[in-house]
């Protein structure tokens, strides 16, 4: 889904107006009085959520106390990934919030999207899961060896057991036999009282992503625990405010040995980037999709966040896909075209997108964390980048490092 940028009007030509010099009698009677400081109001080029804002507070502030004092009823309160809240604000409330000394910035809430393309192959019917000696996934076959020809095997000794991967998505089909009871509910930010299950009427995006991370036959880390944090609705949309709430939840509840996968993309957002940095500072690696806009991933969030591991997509011929976003913010490339994985309701389906590339990297991160549970997020990212196969990808796009994901003998 391509998102158009909105042009803003230029400044007025003030120099054409006559310069009026006020008489001395109109001078401010209180020369010591200063104009109240207003926190910056940030907007971006995406689809805005009318009258809804993310408020960033100074560290040490109390979001609930401050919002109550301002007469604001917040939808989300952030205390761990960063400090702040999100709420619907009237123009008067917005001015009052921006005038408050503890407020660092206010950002217009905006829509984010799941980062995948259409299904490209017919789904297979539900069938009992069974262990496989080989693999039907060229993606798995590709990431466990540096060079072709592929051997139709997926060979690793680590399983990711003991590591939790939080799947920030549409939800997970917990009953799918491929997960073997390792998928569970975390938080549902879409349905009040919901359990984070995947949409039965939607694309099954989260179930497919979770399958690439850790399903028995199609997953990278087949012993990892998968926790659903549902932020995308059945149309594959969310908002900055809700996305930040998901990262804040993980920052509050996750062990530092955990990994996050967020196959979601949107316009550049300071709030999203700050939450990503806050999560990474707690040791949890945020693995994110580069995006399918075929443009610079640095112009989007969370793919442009310094603390994120943004993943671009390749195809079975080791070509960078035509849809994958690119640039220096793409830290590593991984298979993302025609990827077979778990389907909502059982069986399998095939999908394409950087949504599918990111969970390969999240799975390898889980394998590494299982061996190195105390490794911080930067150490894990550096290891993934350092182990990647060099100069294997063709049709590379501008500014993108030629690094293809590799399991590194785990």
User: Of these residues, 61, 173, 197, 205, which one is catalytic?
Assistant: 205
**Cα distance between the two ends of the chain:** 36
- Of 259, 255, 319, 325, which is closest to residue 290 (Cα–Cα)? 325
User: Nearest 5°: phi and psi at 157?
Assistant: -100, -25
For residue 165, the cross-strand partners are: 226, 259
Q: How far apart are CA 328 and CA 114, in angstroms?
A: 21
Burial class (CB in 10 A: 0-12, 13-18, 19+), 50: exposed
- Of 89, 170, 175, which is closest to residue 351 (Cα–Cα)? 170
Is 152 a known active-site residue?
no
User: Of these residues, 109, 169, 273, 338, which one is catalytic?
Assistant: 169
How many alpha carbons fall within 13 Å on the CB side of residue 345? 10
**Contact criterion met (CB below 8 Å) for 236 and 114:** yes
Query: CA angle, corner 229, sides to 282 and 156, nearest 5?
Result: 70
User: Of these residues, 217, 274, 303, 355, which one is catalytic?
Assistant: 355
Q: Find how far residue 294's CA is from the centre of its chain.
A: 17
Is 355 a known active-site residue?
yes
Q: CB under 8 Å to 9, separation ≥6 — which residues?
A: none
Helix, strand, coil percentages (3-state) for the chain, rounded to 5, are 25, 25, 50
Residues assigned a catalytic role: 169, 205, 355
């Amino acid at each position: 889904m391509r998102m158009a940028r909105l042009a803003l009007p230029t400044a007025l030509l003030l120099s054409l107006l006559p310069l009026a010099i006020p008489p001395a009698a109109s001078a401010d009677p209180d020369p010591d009085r200063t104009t109240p400081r207003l926190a910056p109001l940030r907007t971006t080029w995406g689809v805005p959520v009318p009258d809804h804002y993310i408020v960033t507070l100074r560290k040490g502030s109390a979001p609930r106390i401050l919002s109550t004092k301002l007469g604001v009823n917040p939808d989300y309160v952030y205390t761990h990934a960063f400090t702040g809240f999100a709420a619907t604000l009237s123009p008067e409330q917005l001015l009052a919030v921006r005038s408050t000394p503890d407020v660092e910035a206010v950002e217009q809430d905006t829509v984010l999207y799941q980062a995948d393309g259409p299904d490209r192959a017919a789904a297979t019917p539900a069938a009992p899961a069974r262990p496989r000696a080989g693999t039907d996934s060229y993606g798995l076959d590709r990431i466990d060896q540096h060079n072709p020809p592929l051997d139709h095997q997926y060979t690793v000794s680590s399983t990711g057991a003991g590591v939790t991967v939080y799947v920030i998505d549409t939800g997970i089909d917990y009953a799918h036999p491929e997960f073997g009871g390792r998928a569970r509910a975390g938080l549902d930010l879409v349905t009040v009282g919901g359990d984070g299950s995947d949409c039965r009427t939607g694309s099954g995006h989260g179930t497919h992503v979770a399958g690439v991370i850790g399903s028995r036959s199609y997953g990278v880390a087949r012993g990892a625990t998968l926790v659903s944090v549902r932020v995308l609705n059945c149309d594959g949309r969310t908002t900055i405010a809700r996305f930040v709430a998901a990262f804040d939840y993980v920052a509050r509840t996750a062990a530092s040995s955990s990994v996050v996968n967020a196959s979601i993309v949107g316009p550049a957002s300071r709030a999203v980037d700050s939450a990503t940095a806050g999560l990474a500072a707690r040791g949890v690696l945020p693995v994110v999709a580069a995006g399918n806009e075929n443009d610079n991933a640095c112009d989007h969030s969370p793919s442009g966040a310094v603390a994120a591991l943004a993943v671009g997509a390749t195809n079975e011929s080791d070509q960078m896909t035509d849809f994958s976003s690119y640039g220096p913010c793409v830290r590593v490339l991984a298979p993302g075209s025609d990827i077979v994985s778990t389907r909502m309701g059982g069986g399998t389906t095939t999908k394409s997108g950087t949504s599918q590339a990111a969970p390969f990297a999240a799975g390898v991160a889980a394998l590494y964390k299982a061996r190195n549970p105390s490794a911080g997020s930067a150490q894990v990212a550096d290891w993934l980048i350092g182990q990647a196969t060099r100069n294997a990808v063709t049709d590379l796009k501008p500014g993108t490092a030629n690094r293809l994901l590799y399991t590194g003998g785990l």
